[in-house]
Copies of this chain bind each other. A is one copy, B any other.
Amino acid sequence: MTIAADWIAVDWGTSTLRAWAMSHDGQDLASASSADGMGQLTSEEFEPALLRLIETWLAEDTPTSVIACGMVGAKQGWTEAPYAATPCQPQSRFTAAPTRDPRLDVQIIAGVSQSEPADVMRGEETQIAGFQRLNPKWDGVICLPGTHTKWVQMSAGEIVSFQTFMTGEIFALLSTSSVLRHSVSGETWEDDAFLTAVDEAMSRPEALAARLFGIRAQDLLHHLPPASARARLSGLLVGAELAAAKPYWIGQSIAMIGAQELCDGYAAALVAQHVPVTRTDASQMTLAGLKAAYATWKETQ
């Protein structure tokens, strides 16, 4: 059985490449993924990496449209897709990637930039567009927890402003590569310790770097269990982020897009602040966003 894709949707991040064979009416006929993330490839290696994954879906006689989002459009990616500047619709620019194979027509969705305070996103704009497609006329704030968590203010279908926090990356570095790794090992988790730490950090966010070392000291002196230590580390970082992002969430209803486990923490912390949170499925938002991009792209042809 062969798959004949009418077009192909691609989510190409730093560590993973995912593709879907799509029909004209928006059904995903097949999907595939590989570890050929943007971080592992030089610019010449993108086309072969894509072909390895999707070659069997291509027509022989006419180019198949490939719509891609994510770090594939970064300076170190396949080709640089210049940012669209806020305020803008989430998917307002496309950049053609250079290809040798005549069966490919690859379009990369531009990321979004904000000049002041300087900020950038690549990939999240597509999840945002997917959320908009599924929730038309929606205005408000979207939180996208991740390695680099984004808070995004939407109005009248446009990204008005956004702010990125390195919380996820800092958690990963501290829990695996700092002195704290001895105290937070394992995957266990204690909800109470998380929420207590969120509270502490929100009420005195400037004490973060001191409280972080305190996790190690509490382990050495008072035998803090790893499940509490791990949840406390995350809670301190998320609490400091919430203190800084307060203008984004105070008095708002928040839509959240991201990995389940990560969103659990953010949602619990926000609900404790009496902020209503609407959870969504991140993969579904990505695919809906790629469909939205394909529709926008077709209109301009």
Q: Which chain B residues border A179 with CB–CB below 8 Å?
A: 148, 166, 169
Contact between B120 and A210, CB atoms less than 8 A apart? no
Q: Does A1 count as interface, using CB distance less than 8 angstroms?
A: no
CA distance A246 to B220 in the complex (A): 26
Residue of B nearest to A220 (CB): B120
Contact between A206 and B205, CB atoms less than 8 A apart? yes
Contact between B115 and A221, CB atoms less than 8 A apart? yes
A235 to chain B: closest CB distance in Å? Answer: 14
CA distance A245 to B240 in the complex (A): 17
Contact between B148 and A244, CB atoms less than 8 A apart? no
CA distance A241 to B245 in the complex (A): 20
Contact between B208 and A244, CB atoms less than 8 A apart? yes
Q: Does A35 count as interface, using CB distance less than 8 angstroms?
A: no
Chain A residues within 8 Å of B, Cβ to Cβ? 75, 83, 113-115, 117-120, 148, 163-167, 169-170, 173-174, 177-179, 205-210, 212-214, 216-218, 220-222, 237, 240-241, 243-245
Jot down 14 A-B pairs with beta carbons below 8 A, ordered by A. Answer: A113-B217, A113-B221, A120-B216, A120-B217, A148-B179, A148-B213, A164-B210, A165-B210, A166-B178, A169-B179, A173-B177, A205-B205, A206-B206, A208-B208
